[in-house]
Amino acid sequence: MGATLIEKIIRRNVHDDSVKAGDIVFVKPDRVMIHDIFIPFVADKFHEMGFKKVWDTDKVVIIYDHMVPASQVDDTRHFRRGDEFAKEQGIEHIHRADGICHQLMPELRYATPGDIVFGTDSHTVTYGGVGAFSTGIGYTEMAGILGTGELWIKVPETIRININGKLRDGVTSKDIILRIIGDLTAAGATYKAMEFAGDTVKEMSVASRLTMANMTIEAGAKCGLFYPDEKTAEFSGVPLDEEHGCFTDDNDGDYAMVLDYKAEDFVPVAACPSQVDKIRPVSELKDIVIDQVFIGSCTNGRLEDLRAAAEILKGKKVAPYVKLIVTPASRSVYLDAVHEGIMKIFNEAGAIIMNPGCGLCCGRSGGILTDGETVVATNNRNFLGRMGTSKVNIYLASPVTAAKSAVAGKITA
Amino acid sequence: MGKVFKYGKDVDTDQIIASQYLLYPTIEEMKVHAFESLDSEFIKCVEPGDFIVADENFGCGSSREQAPAVLKACGIKAVLAKSFARIFYRNSINLGVPVIICSDIYDHVKTGDEITLNMEEGYAEVAGVKYSCTKVPEYMKNILDQGGLLASLEKEI
Protein backbone atom coordinates (compact mmCIF):
# COMPACT_ATOMS: atom_id res chain seq x y z
CA MET A 1 0.00 0.00 0.00
CA GLY A 2 1.18 3.51 -0.83
CA ALA A 3 1.06 6.57 1.38
CA THR A 4 -1.13 9.64 1.52
CA LEU A 5 0.35 13.04 0.75
CA ILE A 6 0.24 14.14 4.39
CA GLU A 7 2.11 10.97 5.41
CA LYS A 8 4.79 11.63 2.78
CA ILE A 9 5.28 15.22 3.93
CA ILE A 10 5.54 14.29 7.60
CA ARG A 11 7.83 11.31 6.89
CA ARG A 12 10.23 13.64 5.12
CA ASN A 13 10.23 16.02 8.07
CA VAL A 14 10.79 13.41 10.78
CA HIS A 15 13.08 11.17 8.66
CA ASP A 16 10.99 8.10 9.37
CA ASP A 17 9.31 6.20 6.54
CA SER A 18 7.12 4.17 8.86
CA VAL A 19 5.02 7.14 10.02
CA LYS A 20 1.31 6.70 9.30
CA ALA A 21 -2.06 8.23 10.16
CA GLY A 22 -2.78 8.11 13.88
CA ASP A 23 0.88 8.38 14.97
CA ILE A 24 1.91 11.24 17.22
CA VAL A 25 5.19 12.83 16.16
CA PHE A 26 7.25 15.92 16.88
CA VAL A 27 7.81 17.90 13.68
CA LYS A 28 10.26 20.72 13.01
CA PRO A 29 8.44 23.44 11.07
CA ASP A 30 10.11 24.81 7.95
CA ARG A 31 8.38 28.14 8.48
CA VAL A 32 5.99 29.84 10.88
CA MET A 33 3.76 32.86 10.32
CA ILE A 34 2.36 35.29 12.88
CA HIS A 35 -0.05 38.07 11.92
CA ASP A 36 -0.81 41.44 13.45
CA ILE A 37 -3.75 40.39 15.64
CA PHE A 38 -1.72 37.84 17.58
CA ILE A 39 1.86 39.14 17.51
CA PRO A 40 1.61 40.92 20.91
CA PHE A 41 0.20 37.76 22.52
CA VAL A 42 2.92 35.57 20.98
CA ALA A 43 5.66 37.97 22.07
CA ASP A 44 4.31 38.17 25.63
CA LYS A 45 3.90 34.39 25.94
CA PHE A 46 7.38 33.83 24.51
CA HIS A 47 8.90 35.91 27.31
CA GLU A 48 6.53 34.54 29.97
CA MET A 49 7.72 31.06 29.08
CA GLY A 50 11.26 32.14 29.84
CA PHE A 51 12.60 31.97 26.27
CA LYS A 52 15.23 34.46 25.20
CA LYS A 53 15.98 33.80 21.52
CA VAL A 54 13.82 32.57 18.66
CA TRP A 55 15.07 29.17 17.49
CA ASP A 56 15.67 30.26 13.88
CA THR A 57 14.87 33.81 12.81
CA ASP A 58 14.95 32.92 9.09
CA LYS A 59 11.99 30.61 9.64
CA VAL A 60 9.77 33.26 11.18
CA VAL A 61 7.53 35.55 9.11
CA ILE A 62 5.52 38.42 10.61
CA ILE A 63 2.75 39.92 8.49
CA TYR A 64 0.46 42.85 9.23
CA ASP A 65 -2.76 42.43 7.28
CA HIS A 66 -5.94 42.27 9.39
CA MET A 67 -5.57 45.80 10.69
CA VAL A 68 -3.83 47.59 7.83
CA PRO A 69 -4.25 50.54 7.77
CA ALA A 70 -5.30 51.05 11.38
CA SER A 71 -9.00 51.72 11.90
CA GLN A 72 -8.96 51.94 15.70
CA VAL A 73 -6.44 53.76 17.84
CA ASP A 74 -5.42 50.57 19.64
CA ASP A 75 -4.39 48.88 16.39
CA THR A 76 -1.12 50.76 16.29
CA ARG A 77 -0.08 49.09 19.56
CA HIS A 78 0.01 45.76 17.68
CA PHE A 79 2.27 47.15 14.97
CA ARG A 80 4.56 48.69 17.57
CA ARG A 81 4.75 45.47 19.57
CA GLY A 82 5.43 43.45 16.40
CA ASP A 83 8.18 45.83 15.32
CA GLU A 84 9.76 45.68 18.78
CA PHE A 85 9.73 41.89 18.81
CA ALA A 86 11.17 41.67 15.28
CA LYS A 87 13.95 44.09 16.20
CA GLU A 88 14.74 42.41 19.50
CA GLN A 89 14.94 38.98 17.82
CA GLY A 90 16.50 40.06 14.53
CA ILE A 91 13.54 38.81 12.46
CA GLU A 92 13.89 40.22 8.95
CA HIS A 93 10.85 38.69 7.25
CA ILE A 94 8.33 41.32 8.24
CA HIS A 95 5.65 42.71 5.92
CA ARG A 96 3.84 45.79 7.11
CA ALA A 97 1.51 46.59 4.20
CA ASP A 98 2.14 44.07 1.42
CA GLY A 99 -1.09 42.10 1.56
CA ILE A 100 -2.81 39.14 3.19
CA CYS A 101 -0.57 36.66 4.99
CA HIS A 102 -2.05 33.65 3.17
CA GLN A 103 -1.39 35.24 -0.19
CA LEU A 104 2.13 36.37 0.68
CA MET A 105 3.32 33.06 2.17
CA PRO A 106 3.03 31.08 -1.09
CA GLU A 107 3.54 34.09 -3.40
CA LEU A 108 6.85 35.08 -1.80
CA ARG A 109 7.84 31.39 -1.53
CA TYR A 110 7.95 31.27 2.24
CA ALA A 111 5.77 28.15 1.90
CA THR A 112 6.85 25.72 -0.83
CA PRO A 113 6.03 22.09 -1.71
CA GLY A 114 6.68 19.54 1.03
CA ASP A 115 7.14 22.18 3.75
CA ILE A 116 5.54 22.07 7.17
CA VAL A 117 4.22 25.49 8.13
CA PHE A 118 2.25 26.67 11.15
CA GLY A 119 0.50 30.01 11.46
CA THR A 120 -1.56 31.83 14.08
CA ASP A 121 -4.56 31.76 11.80
CA SER A 122 -6.99 29.04 10.82
CA HIS A 123 -6.66 29.80 7.11
CA THR A 124 -3.00 28.80 7.21
CA VAL A 125 -4.32 25.66 5.47
CA THR A 126 -4.14 27.67 2.22
CA TYR A 127 -0.55 26.57 1.44
CA GLY A 128 -1.82 23.05 0.83
CA GLY A 129 -2.50 24.51 -2.62
CA VAL A 130 1.23 24.22 -3.33
CA GLY A 131 1.55 20.86 -1.56
CA ALA A 132 2.75 22.13 1.82
CA PHE A 133 1.33 20.83 5.10
CA SER A 134 0.21 23.98 6.83
CA THR A 135 -2.29 24.55 9.60
CA GLY A 136 -3.42 27.01 12.24
CA ILE A 137 -2.43 27.02 15.90
CA GLY A 138 -2.99 29.29 18.90
CA TYR A 139 -0.58 31.91 20.18
CA THR A 140 0.60 29.86 23.15
CA GLU A 141 1.67 27.01 20.88
CA MET A 142 3.30 29.48 18.51
CA ALA A 143 5.32 30.91 21.39
CA GLY A 144 6.33 27.32 22.22
CA ILE A 145 7.55 26.74 18.65
CA LEU A 146 9.50 30.01 18.61
CA GLY A 147 11.35 28.80 21.70
CA THR A 148 11.83 25.13 20.85
CA GLY A 149 11.56 24.79 17.04
CA GLU A 150 9.12 21.91 17.27
CA LEU A 151 5.49 20.95 17.82
CA TRP A 152 3.74 17.65 18.47
CA ILE A 153 1.05 16.68 16.03
CA LYS A 154 -1.10 13.71 15.30
CA VAL A 155 -0.72 12.49 11.72
CA PRO A 156 -4.23 12.94 10.32
CA GLU A 157 -6.27 10.43 8.37
CA THR A 158 -7.06 11.46 4.81
CA ILE A 159 -10.28 12.06 2.90
CA ARG A 160 -9.44 11.57 -0.77
CA ILE A 161 -11.45 13.68 -3.21
CA ASN A 162 -11.24 12.86 -6.93
CA ILE A 163 -12.64 15.35 -9.41
CA ASN A 164 -12.63 14.47 -13.09
CA GLY A 165 -14.02 16.11 -16.19
CA LYS A 166 -14.43 19.62 -17.51
CA LEU A 167 -16.08 22.42 -15.53
CA ARG A 168 -18.96 24.28 -17.14
CA ASP A 169 -18.48 27.92 -18.10
CA GLY A 170 -18.87 30.26 -15.15
CA VAL A 171 -18.11 27.54 -12.57
CA THR A 172 -14.99 28.10 -10.51
CA SER A 173 -12.93 26.28 -7.90
CA LYS A 174 -14.87 28.27 -5.29
CA ASP A 175 -18.09 26.58 -6.40
CA ILE A 176 -16.36 23.20 -6.10
CA ILE A 177 -15.07 23.70 -2.58
CA LEU A 178 -18.36 25.22 -1.35
CA ARG A 179 -20.26 22.21 -2.69
CA ILE A 180 -17.81 19.79 -1.06
CA ILE A 181 -18.12 21.60 2.29
CA GLY A 182 -21.89 21.40 1.94
CA ASP A 183 -21.66 17.65 1.31
CA LEU A 184 -19.19 16.98 4.14
CA THR A 185 -20.74 19.56 6.55
CA ALA A 186 -18.83 22.02 8.74
CA ALA A 187 -17.53 19.20 10.93
CA GLY A 188 -17.18 16.51 8.26
CA ALA A 189 -13.40 16.62 7.92
CA THR A 190 -12.50 17.49 11.51
CA TYR A 191 -8.96 16.38 12.43
CA LYS A 192 -8.51 15.01 8.89
CA ALA A 193 -6.48 15.92 5.83
CA MET A 194 -8.36 16.47 2.58
CA GLU A 195 -6.42 15.39 -0.51
CA PHE A 196 -7.58 16.55 -3.96
CA ALA A 197 -6.77 14.77 -7.21
CA GLY A 198 -8.15 14.08 -10.68
CA ASP A 199 -7.83 15.70 -14.08
CA THR A 200 -10.03 18.69 -13.18
CA VAL A 201 -7.61 19.52 -10.40
CA LYS A 202 -4.62 19.07 -12.72
CA GLU A 203 -6.18 21.56 -15.15
CA MET A 204 -6.56 24.17 -12.41
CA SER A 205 -4.19 27.08 -11.85
CA VAL A 206 -2.23 27.22 -8.60
CA ALA A 207 -4.45 30.15 -7.59
CA SER A 208 -7.60 28.03 -7.96
CA ARG A 209 -6.03 25.31 -5.82
CA LEU A 210 -5.12 27.86 -3.14
CA THR A 211 -8.79 28.91 -3.09
CA MET A 212 -9.88 25.34 -2.37
CA ALA A 213 -7.16 24.58 0.18
CA ASN A 214 -8.05 27.83 1.94
CA MET A 215 -11.60 26.69 2.65
CA THR A 216 -10.88 23.14 3.82
CA ILE A 217 -10.83 24.46 7.40
CA GLU A 218 -14.54 25.26 6.94
CA ALA A 219 -15.15 21.51 6.89
CA GLY A 220 -12.98 21.27 10.02
CA ALA A 221 -9.97 19.84 8.17
CA LYS A 222 -6.45 20.00 9.54
CA CYS A 223 -5.19 20.65 6.02
CA GLY A 224 -6.22 20.45 2.36
CA LEU A 225 -3.54 19.19 0.01
CA PHE A 226 -2.78 19.19 -3.71
CA TYR A 227 0.03 17.19 -5.33
CA PRO A 228 2.63 19.55 -6.80
CA ASP A 229 2.98 19.53 -10.60
CA GLU A 230 4.79 21.59 -13.24
CA LYS A 231 2.63 24.62 -12.43
CA THR A 232 3.40 24.35 -8.73
CA ALA A 233 7.13 23.91 -9.35
CA GLU A 234 7.19 27.04 -11.48
CA PHE A 235 5.07 29.02 -9.02
CA SER A 236 7.23 27.99 -6.06
CA GLY A 237 10.56 28.07 -7.90
CA VAL A 238 11.58 24.50 -7.03
CA PRO A 239 12.62 21.52 -9.17
CA LEU A 240 9.79 19.02 -9.66
CA ASP A 241 11.21 16.09 -7.71
CA GLU A 242 10.63 14.35 -4.40
CA GLU A 243 13.94 15.55 -3.00
CA HIS A 244 12.49 19.05 -3.14
CA GLY A 245 9.18 18.05 -1.61
CA CYS A 246 7.21 17.56 -4.82
CA PHE A 247 5.62 14.22 -4.00
CA THR A 248 3.83 12.10 -6.57
CA ASP A 249 0.40 10.56 -6.19
CA ASP A 250 0.30 6.84 -5.31
CA ASN A 251 -3.50 6.93 -5.32
CA ASP A 252 -3.16 3.97 -3.01
CA GLY A 253 -3.10 5.40 0.51
CA ASP A 254 -5.11 4.14 3.45
CA TYR A 255 -7.95 6.64 3.00
CA ALA A 256 -10.61 7.21 5.66
CA MET A 257 -13.04 8.07 2.86
CA VAL A 258 -12.97 8.52 -0.92
CA LEU A 259 -15.32 10.92 -2.70
CA ASP A 260 -15.69 11.02 -6.47
CA TYR A 261 -17.08 14.04 -8.28
CA LYS A 262 -17.76 14.77 -11.94
CA ALA A 263 -16.73 18.29 -12.90
CA GLU A 264 -19.79 18.65 -15.13
CA ASP A 265 -22.06 18.28 -12.07
CA PHE A 266 -20.84 21.45 -10.39
CA VAL A 267 -22.93 24.61 -10.70
CA PRO A 268 -22.51 28.11 -9.24
CA VAL A 269 -23.42 27.89 -5.55
CA ALA A 270 -23.48 30.12 -2.48
CA ALA A 271 -23.18 29.51 1.25
CA CYS A 272 -26.27 31.07 2.81
CA PRO A 273 -26.55 32.93 6.11
CA SER A 274 -25.09 32.08 8.51
CA GLN A 275 -23.46 28.69 7.98
CA VAL A 276 -20.63 27.88 5.60
CA ASP A 277 -22.16 24.46 4.91
CA LYS A 278 -25.62 25.82 4.03
CA ILE A 279 -25.06 25.52 0.30
CA ARG A 280 -27.68 26.35 -2.36
CA PRO A 281 -27.39 26.69 -6.14
CA VAL A 282 -27.26 30.40 -7.02
CA SER A 283 -30.14 29.82 -9.44
CA GLU A 284 -32.39 29.13 -6.44
CA LEU A 285 -31.42 32.42 -4.78
CA LYS A 286 -32.19 34.80 -7.62
CA ASP A 287 -34.13 37.95 -6.83
CA ILE A 288 -32.55 38.36 -3.39
CA VAL A 289 -31.76 42.08 -3.40
CA ILE A 290 -28.31 43.01 -2.15
CA ASP A 291 -26.67 46.06 -0.62
CA GLN A 292 -23.02 45.26 -1.07
CA VAL A 293 -20.54 43.00 -2.85
CA PHE A 294 -17.08 42.16 -1.55
CA ILE A 295 -14.44 40.76 -3.92
CA GLY A 296 -11.21 39.96 -2.13
CA SER A 297 -9.70 37.93 0.76
CA CYS A 298 -7.23 35.06 1.01
CA THR A 299 -9.88 32.90 -0.66
CA ASN A 300 -10.57 34.92 -3.79
CA GLY A 301 -8.48 38.09 -3.96
CA ARG A 302 -5.94 36.82 -6.49
CA LEU A 303 -5.32 38.07 -10.02
CA GLU A 304 -7.45 35.39 -11.72
CA ASP A 305 -10.33 36.29 -9.39
CA LEU A 306 -10.11 40.00 -10.21
CA ARG A 307 -9.73 39.11 -13.88
CA ALA A 308 -12.89 36.97 -13.84
CA ALA A 309 -14.86 39.73 -12.12
CA ALA A 310 -13.52 42.41 -14.50
CA GLU A 311 -14.56 40.37 -17.52
CA ILE A 312 -18.16 40.65 -16.31
CA LEU A 313 -17.93 44.27 -15.21
CA LYS A 314 -16.31 45.55 -18.40
CA GLY A 315 -18.39 48.35 -19.88
CA LYS A 316 -21.06 47.95 -17.19
CA LYS A 317 -22.02 49.78 -14.03
CA VAL A 318 -22.67 48.43 -10.59
CA ALA A 319 -26.36 48.79 -9.58
CA PRO A 320 -26.81 52.30 -8.13
CA TYR A 321 -27.67 51.12 -4.61
CA VAL A 322 -24.87 48.50 -4.42
CA LYS A 323 -21.44 49.20 -3.00
CA LEU A 324 -18.85 47.01 -4.72
CA ILE A 325 -15.71 46.67 -2.63
CA VAL A 326 -12.61 45.23 -4.30
CA THR A 327 -9.62 44.30 -2.17
CA PRO A 328 -6.63 42.75 -3.96
CA ALA A 329 -4.88 40.06 -1.93
CA SER A 330 -1.39 41.52 -2.25
CA ARG A 331 0.63 44.42 -3.52
CA SER A 332 1.78 42.44 -6.56
CA VAL A 333 -1.78 41.33 -7.37
CA TYR A 334 -2.75 45.01 -7.19
CA LEU A 335 0.08 46.04 -9.50
CA ASP A 336 -0.61 43.27 -12.02
CA ALA A 337 -4.28 44.24 -12.03
CA VAL A 338 -3.31 47.84 -12.77
CA HIS A 339 -1.07 46.76 -15.64
CA GLU A 340 -3.76 44.54 -17.13
CA GLY A 341 -6.29 47.35 -17.05
CA ILE A 342 -8.46 45.50 -14.53
CA MET A 343 -8.44 48.32 -12.00
CA LYS A 344 -9.61 50.72 -14.69
CA ILE A 345 -12.59 48.47 -15.39
CA PHE A 346 -13.44 48.29 -11.68
CA ASN A 347 -13.07 52.02 -11.34
CA GLU A 348 -15.29 52.78 -14.32
CA ALA A 349 -17.89 50.30 -13.08
CA GLY A 350 -18.14 52.28 -9.85
CA ALA A 351 -16.22 49.98 -7.51
CA ILE A 352 -14.51 51.06 -4.32
CA ILE A 353 -10.93 49.79 -4.53
CA MET A 354 -9.23 49.13 -1.18
CA ASN A 355 -5.63 48.55 -0.19
CA PRO A 356 -4.30 44.96 -0.18
CA GLY A 357 -5.17 43.27 3.12
CA CYS A 358 -7.93 41.38 4.91
CA GLY A 359 -10.34 44.31 4.77
CA LEU A 360 -13.99 43.44 5.23
CA CYS A 361 -13.45 39.69 5.56
CA CYS A 362 -12.78 39.86 9.29
CA GLY A 363 -15.29 42.66 9.81
CA ARG A 364 -12.98 45.19 11.37
CA SER A 365 -13.03 47.76 8.60
CA GLY A 366 -13.58 48.36 4.93
CA GLY A 367 -17.34 48.28 4.56
CA ILE A 368 -19.05 46.80 7.61
CA LEU A 369 -22.82 46.36 7.37
CA THR A 370 -25.82 46.76 9.62
CA ASP A 371 -29.12 45.03 10.54
CA GLY A 372 -31.09 43.69 7.59
CA GLU A 373 -28.39 44.36 4.97
CA THR A 374 -27.26 41.69 2.52
CA VAL A 375 -23.81 41.15 1.07
CA VAL A 376 -22.43 38.75 -1.53
CA ALA A 377 -18.82 38.08 -0.59
CA THR A 378 -16.00 36.00 -2.03
CA ASN A 379 -14.32 35.23 1.28
CA ASN A 380 -14.55 32.09 3.39
CA ARG A 381 -16.83 32.76 6.35
CA ASN A 382 -20.39 33.97 6.78
CA PHE A 383 -20.52 33.52 10.54
CA LEU A 384 -23.04 35.46 12.59
CA GLY A 385 -21.75 38.98 13.15
CA ARG A 386 -18.66 38.50 10.97
CA MET A 387 -19.13 41.66 8.86
CA GLY A 388 -21.02 43.92 11.22
CA THR A 389 -24.11 43.15 13.28
CA SER A 390 -25.51 39.67 13.80
CA LYS A 391 -28.45 40.59 11.54
CA VAL A 392 -26.35 41.00 8.38
CA ASN A 393 -27.00 38.36 5.69
CA ILE A 394 -23.75 37.10 4.21
CA TYR A 395 -23.79 34.95 1.06
CA LEU A 396 -20.43 33.43 0.10
CA ALA A 397 -19.86 32.89 -3.61
CA SER A 398 -17.33 32.98 -6.44
CA PRO A 399 -15.96 36.21 -7.95
CA VAL A 400 -18.06 35.47 -11.06
CA THR A 401 -21.30 35.30 -9.08
CA ALA A 402 -20.23 38.32 -7.02
CA ALA A 403 -19.59 40.48 -10.09
CA LYS A 404 -22.82 39.43 -11.83
CA SER A 405 -24.76 40.16 -8.64
CA ALA A 406 -23.13 43.59 -8.28
CA VAL A 407 -24.36 44.61 -11.75
CA ALA A 408 -27.84 43.17 -11.31
CA GLY A 409 -28.28 44.45 -7.75
CA LYS A 410 -29.53 41.04 -6.73
CA ILE A 411 -28.05 37.57 -6.44
CA THR A 412 -27.40 36.35 -9.97
CA ALA A 413 -25.73 33.32 -11.50
CA MET B 1 -21.95 21.93 40.85
CA GLY B 2 -22.74 24.57 38.25
CA LYS B 3 -25.45 25.46 35.83
CA VAL B 4 -25.69 24.65 32.15
CA PHE B 5 -25.60 27.01 29.17
CA LYS B 6 -26.77 24.96 26.22
CA TYR B 7 -25.86 25.80 22.61
CA GLY B 8 -26.35 24.03 19.26
CA LYS B 9 -23.95 22.71 16.65
CA ASP B 10 -21.10 24.53 14.86
CA VAL B 11 -20.75 27.27 17.47
CA ASP B 12 -17.87 29.20 15.93
CA THR B 13 -15.15 31.22 17.60
CA ASP B 14 -16.56 34.47 16.17
CA GLN B 15 -19.69 33.80 18.21
CA ILE B 16 -17.67 33.03 21.34
CA ILE B 17 -15.70 36.26 20.96
CA ALA B 18 -16.02 38.47 17.87
CA SER B 19 -13.02 39.87 15.95
CA GLN B 20 -13.62 43.45 16.93
CA TYR B 21 -12.91 42.64 20.60
CA LEU B 22 -9.70 40.65 20.07
CA LEU B 23 -7.57 43.75 20.44
CA TYR B 24 -8.82 44.68 23.86
CA PRO B 25 -5.68 44.70 25.98
CA THR B 26 -6.98 42.32 28.65
CA ILE B 27 -9.18 39.24 28.76
CA GLU B 28 -11.21 40.92 31.50
CA GLU B 29 -12.27 43.68 29.09
CA MET B 30 -12.91 41.14 26.35
CA LYS B 31 -14.96 38.67 28.35
CA VAL B 32 -18.02 40.92 28.74
CA HIS B 33 -18.58 40.38 24.99
CA ALA B 34 -18.55 36.58 25.19
CA PHE B 35 -21.35 35.00 23.11
CA GLU B 36 -22.62 38.51 22.33
CA SER B 37 -24.10 37.66 18.90
CA LEU B 38 -25.48 34.28 19.99
CA ASP B 39 -26.83 34.80 23.51
CA SER B 40 -26.87 38.19 25.19
CA GLU B 41 -28.05 36.59 28.46
CA PHE B 42 -24.84 34.57 28.85
CA ILE B 43 -22.66 37.30 30.29
CA LYS B 44 -25.44 38.53 32.60
CA CYS B 45 -26.03 35.09 34.10
CA VAL B 46 -22.70 33.24 34.01
CA GLU B 47 -21.03 32.47 37.33
CA PRO B 48 -17.77 30.74 38.14
CA GLY B 49 -18.25 26.98 38.04
CA ASP B 50 -20.84 26.98 35.25
CA PHE B 51 -20.71 24.65 32.23
CA ILE B 52 -21.33 24.86 28.51
CA VAL B 53 -23.07 21.94 26.86
CA ALA B 54 -23.05 21.91 23.06
CA ASP B 55 -23.81 19.80 20.03
CA GLU B 56 -21.18 18.91 17.40
CA ASN B 57 -18.15 20.92 16.28
CA PHE B 58 -17.93 23.41 19.15
CA GLY B 59 -15.30 26.12 18.54
CA CYS B 60 -15.05 25.85 14.77
CA GLY B 61 -13.63 28.71 12.75
CA SER B 62 -10.71 30.90 13.63
CA SER B 63 -7.59 29.98 15.59
CA ARG B 64 -8.18 32.70 18.17
CA GLU B 65 -7.01 31.50 21.54
CA GLN B 66 -9.10 34.25 23.09
CA ALA B 67 -12.14 31.99 22.59
CA PRO B 68 -11.18 29.49 25.31
CA ALA B 69 -9.47 32.33 27.22
CA VAL B 70 -12.73 34.28 27.65
CA LEU B 71 -14.57 31.11 28.68
CA LYS B 72 -11.90 30.54 31.32
CA ALA B 73 -12.12 34.18 32.43
CA CYS B 74 -15.91 33.82 32.75
CA GLY B 75 -15.27 30.92 35.12
CA ILE B 76 -16.54 28.16 32.82
CA LYS B 77 -15.56 24.90 34.52
CA ALA B 78 -15.70 22.76 31.38
CA VAL B 79 -17.24 22.52 27.94
CA LEU B 80 -19.12 19.28 27.24
CA ALA B 81 -19.83 18.79 23.55
CA LYS B 82 -20.55 15.99 21.10
CA SER B 83 -17.35 17.02 19.29
CA PHE B 84 -14.88 19.89 19.09
CA ALA B 85 -13.09 21.72 16.29
CA ARG B 86 -9.40 20.86 16.18
CA ILE B 87 -7.68 24.19 16.91
CA PHE B 88 -10.14 25.13 19.66
CA TYR B 89 -9.53 21.75 21.30
CA ARG B 90 -5.74 22.22 21.36
CA ASN B 91 -6.00 25.82 22.54
CA SER B 92 -8.36 24.87 25.36
CA ILE B 93 -6.09 22.16 26.69
CA ASN B 94 -3.12 24.52 26.45
CA LEU B 95 -4.99 27.12 28.48
CA GLY B 96 -6.24 24.60 31.02
CA VAL B 97 -9.91 24.64 30.01
CA PRO B 98 -11.35 21.10 30.16
CA VAL B 99 -13.01 20.17 26.86
CA ILE B 100 -14.91 16.94 27.31
CA ILE B 101 -16.54 14.84 24.63
CA CYS B 102 -19.92 13.82 25.98
CA SER B 103 -22.37 12.58 23.35
CA ASP B 104 -25.34 11.56 25.46
CA ILE B 105 -25.92 14.54 27.68
CA TYR B 106 -26.89 17.05 24.97
CA ASP B 107 -30.40 15.75 24.34
CA HIS B 108 -31.21 15.55 28.05
CA VAL B 109 -30.32 18.95 29.45
CA LYS B 110 -31.50 22.52 29.07
CA THR B 111 -30.00 25.88 29.94
CA GLY B 112 -30.16 26.42 33.69
CA ASP B 113 -29.98 22.74 34.73
CA GLU B 114 -27.59 21.94 37.56
CA ILE B 115 -24.70 19.70 36.58
CA THR B 116 -21.72 18.04 38.25
CA LEU B 117 -18.69 16.69 36.42
CA ASN B 118 -16.40 13.88 37.53
CA MET B 119 -13.44 13.97 35.15
CA GLU B 120 -11.50 11.18 36.86
CA GLU B 121 -14.32 8.69 36.49
CA GLY B 122 -15.54 10.12 33.22
CA TYR B 123 -19.14 11.12 33.81
CA ALA B 124 -21.40 14.14 34.18
CA GLU B 125 -24.49 14.05 36.37
CA VAL B 126 -27.75 15.92 35.91
CA ALA B 127 -30.88 15.33 38.05
CA GLY B 128 -29.48 12.08 39.36
CA VAL B 129 -28.68 10.64 35.92
CA LYS B 130 -25.08 9.93 34.98
CA TYR B 131 -23.89 10.48 31.41
CA SER B 132 -20.56 8.99 30.42
CA CYS B 133 -17.86 11.24 28.97
CA THR B 134 -14.62 10.48 27.19
CA LYS B 135 -11.78 10.51 29.71
CA VAL B 136 -9.07 13.04 29.08
CA PRO B 137 -5.77 11.35 28.01
CA GLU B 138 -3.03 11.36 30.67
CA TYR B 139 -0.71 13.76 28.82
CA MET B 140 -3.49 16.30 28.44
CA LYS B 141 -4.75 15.74 31.97
CA ASN B 142 -1.30 16.68 33.28
CA ILE B 143 -1.42 19.92 31.32
CA LEU B 144 -4.94 20.63 32.62
CA ASP B 145 -4.01 19.80 36.22
CA GLN B 146 -1.18 22.29 36.10
CA GLY B 147 -3.38 25.00 34.66
CA GLY B 148 -2.30 24.87 31.01
CA LEU B 149 0.71 24.45 28.73
CA LEU B 150 2.51 27.51 30.06
CA ALA B 151 2.35 26.33 33.66
CA SER B 152 3.26 22.81 32.62
CA LEU B 153 6.29 23.91 30.58
CA GLU B 154 7.46 26.08 33.46
CA LYS B 155 7.34 23.06 35.72
CA GLU B 156 9.42 21.05 33.21
CA ILE B 157 12.01 23.82 32.92
Burial of A316 (0-12, 13-18, 19+ CB in 10 A): middle
Q: Looking at the predicted structure, is the pLDDT value of residue A347 above 90?
A: yes
Cβ-based contacts under 8 A for chains A and B: 111
The nearest CA of chain A is from the CA of B28 a distance in Å of 15
Model confidence over A172-214: pLDDT tens digits? 999 999 999 999 999 999 999 999 999 999 999 999 999 999 9
Q: Looking at the predicted structure, is the pLDDT value of residue A387 above 80?
A: yes
Cβ B91–A190 below 8 Å, yes or no? Answer: no
d(CA A380, CA A277): 11
The pLDDT assigned to B152 comes to 67
To test the contact with chain A by mutation, choose from B11, B15, B19, B95 the residue with the greatest count of A C-beta atoms within 10 A, namely B19
Model confidence over B20-55: pLDDT tens digits? 899 888 999 999 999 999 999 999 999 999 999 999
d(CA B111, CA B126): 12
Q: Which of B57, B148, B157 sits opposite A50 (nearest CB)?
A: B157
To test the contact with chain A by mutation, choose from B11, B33, B60, B95 the residue with the greatest count of A C-beta atoms within 10 A, namely B60
Domains in chain A, start-ordered, CATH in brackets?
A: 5-263 (3.30.499.10), 269-408 (3.30.499.10)
d(CA A238, CA A245): 9
The nearest CA of chain B is from the CA of A38 a distance in Å of 8
Cβ A385–B15 below 8 Å, yes or no? Answer: yes
Q: Looking at the predicted structure, is the pLDDT value of residue B156 above 60?
A: no
Q: Are A368 and A387 in contact (CB under 8 A)?
A: yes
Cβ B83–A122 below 8 Å, yes or no? Answer: no
Model confidence over A211-230: pLDDT tens digits? 999 999 999 999 999 999 99
Q: For residue A48, list chain B residues with Cβ-Cβ distance below 8 A.
A: 150
d(CA B19, CA A36): 13
Domains in chain B, start-ordered, CATH in brackets?
A: 2-156 (3.20.19.10)
Cβ B60–A45 below 8 Å, yes or no? Answer: no
Model confidence over A107-147: pLDDT tens digits? 999 999 999 999 999 999 999 999 999 999 999 999 999 99
Model confidence over A308-334: pLDDT tens digits? 999 999 999 999 999 999 999 999 999
The nearest CA of chain A is from the CA of B102 a distance in Å of 16
Q: Looking at the predicted structure, is the pLDDT value of residue B137 above 80?
A: no
The pLDDT assigned to A1 comes to 85
Cβ B94–A186 below 8 Å, yes or no? Answer: no
**Among candidate residues A181, A177, A253, A202, the one with its CA nearest the CA of residue A10:** A253
Nearest CA in chain A to B151: A49
The nearest CA of chain B is from the CA of A386 a distance in Å of 7
Q: How confident is the model at residue A269 (pLDDT cuts 50, 70, 90)?
A: very high
3 state DSSP class of B50: coil
Q: Are A403 and A295 in contact (CB under 8 A)?
A: yes
Residues 6+ apart with CB under 8 A from A87: none
The pLDDT assigned to B138 comes to 77
Model confidence over A4-58: pLDDT tens digits? 999 999 999 999 999 999 998 999 999 999 999 999 999 999 999 999 999 999 9
